[in-house]
Amino acid sequence: MKVSYFPGCTLRTKAKDLDKYARDSALALGVTMEEPDNWQCCGGVFTTSRDEIATKLSSVRALMDAKSKDQILVTVCSACHNVIKQTNHAMQTDEEFASRVNNYIAPENYNGEARVMHYLELLRDEIGFDKVKEKVVNSLSGKKIAAYYGCLLLRPNSVMKMDDPENPSIIEDLITALGGEAVVYPQRNECCGGYIALENPEAAKTRSNTVTASAANAGAEMIVTACPLCKYNLEKNGSEIPVVYFTELLAEALGVK
Partner 1 sequence: MQRIGVFVCWCGSNIAGTVDVQAVSDALAHEPGVVHSANYQYMCSQAGQNLIKEAIEEHKLTGIVVCSCSPRMHEATFRKTAAAAGLNPYMVEIANIREQCSWVHKDMATGTEKAIILGKAAVAKVNLNAPLTPGESPVTKRALVIGGGIAGIQTALDIADAGFPVDIVETKPTIGGKMAQLDKTFPTLDCAACILTPKMVDVAQNENIRIFSYSEVTDIKGFVGNFDVTIKKRARYVKEDICTGCGLCTEKCPMKNVPNEFNLGMDNRRAIYIPFAQAVPKVATIDPEHCNMLKNGKCGVCAKVCAAGAIDYKQQDEYISEKYGAIVAATGFNPISMDKFDEYAYSQSKDVITSLEFERLTNAAGPSSGHLVCPSDGRHPHTIVFVQCVGSRCASCSEKGKEYCSKICCMYTAKHAMLTRDKYPDTEVYVFYIDVRTPGKNFDEFYRRAAEEYGVKYIKGMVGKVSPENGKLHVQASDLLADKQLHIEADLVVLAAAIEPDKSARPLATMLTASMDTNDFFTEAHPKLRPVESPTAGVFLSGACQGPKDIPETVSQAGAAAAKVIGLLAKDKLTGNPCVANSNELMCNGCSSCERVCPYGAITYVDKEFRMPDRTTKVRRVASVNEAVCQGCGACTVACPSGAMDLKGFATKQIIAEVDAICK
What residues line the site for partner 1 (CB under 8 A)? 158, 164, 166-167, 186-187, 190, 214, 217
Name which of 31 and 216 has its Cβ closer to partner 1: 216
Q: Which amino acid is at 235?
A: E
- 254 touches 25 (CB < 8 A): yes
Burial class (CB in 10 A: 0-12, 13-18, 19+), 48: exposed
We find the least distance from the C-beta atom of residue 216 to partner 1, in angstroms, to be 13
Name which of 58 and 189 has its Cβ closer to partner 1: 189
Nearest to 204 by CA among 185, 190, 186: 190
Name which of 68 and 206 has its Cβ closer to partner 1: 206
User: CA–CA separation, 84 vs 75, rounded Å?
Assistant: 9
We find the least distance from the C-beta atom of residue 207 to partner 1, in angstroms, to be 12
User: Which residues lie across from 2 on neighbouring strands?
Assistant: 32
We find the least distance from the C-beta atom of residue 59 to partner 1, in angstroms, to be 24
* Helix H or strand E segment including 84: helix 78-93
**How, if at all, do strands 243-245 and 222-225 pair?**
parallel
Name which of 126 and 190 has its Cβ closer to partner 1: 190
34 SS3 class? strand
Name which of 109 and 206 has its Cβ closer to partner 1: 206
We find the least distance from the C-beta atom of residue 214 to partner 1, in angstroms, to be 7
User: CA–CA separation, 122 vs 125, rounded Å?
Assistant: 5
We find the least distance from the C-beta atom of residue 186 to partner 1, in angstroms, to be 3
254 SS3 class? helix
